[in-house]
Amino acid sequence: MPSAQFIKLGRRREAALCIASTLVFLSSAPFGMAQTRVIEVLADKDSRYKIAGDSHPTITVKAGEAIVLRITARRAKSWNRDGSIHGFSLLKAADRSKVPGWDLLLKPGVQEFQLNAPTDPGQYEVVCTVVCSEDHEGMKLKFVVLP
């Protein structure tokens, strides 16, 4: 069971994220540009990535698009020594090469990552890099980069 202090810290972190999001909004507003899109993903305790309202979750972005990835991670059956409970690593489907800057390690709770989509349009795949349970090998997410 999480201690009361842990919950309090979690709330404080959420509040900090909320303030940070507001600052991002305020700083971008004067330019009148479209806001950075926030993509929310759950890295769940059953070793599956989930996107609310999407039974076959896929992330679709435009080439080079700036996005914020907001990932909530829930601990499965096993985790890394450094406390990472899941990974989120983007591979190019054609040659399984890792996309630079997209090799993320997830701690329990909510984390935000500011990222730029690959500039090369095509099919990609997100894979988990932490052996999180016997179902770890199936922890994948489709990712499409549009021109």
Cβ proximity to Cu ion: between 36 and 74 the closer is 74
Distances (CA, A) of 88 to 22, 33, 34, 47, 55: 26, 29, 26, 12, 19
Min dist CB 131 to Cu ion, Å, is 8
The CB-of-85 to Cu ion minimum distance in angstroms stands at: 7
Q: Minimum distance from CB of 53 to Cu ion (Å)? A: 22
Q: Which is nearer to Cu ion, 120 or 136 (CB)?
A: 136
| Contact positions vs Cu ion (CB under 5 A) | 47, 86, 128, 132, 139
Within 8 A by CB and 6+ apart from 84, the residues are: 105, 106, 107, 130
Dihedral of alpha carbons 123, 115, 21, 47, sign:
positive
The alpha carbon of residue 122 and the mean position of all alpha carbons in its chain are separated, in whole angstroms, by: 19
- Name which of 79 and 124 has its Cβ closer to Cu ion: 79
Minimum CB–partner distance for residue 118 and Cu ion (Å): 22
Instruction: Choose between 2 and 138: whose C-beta lies nearer to Cu ion.
Output: 138
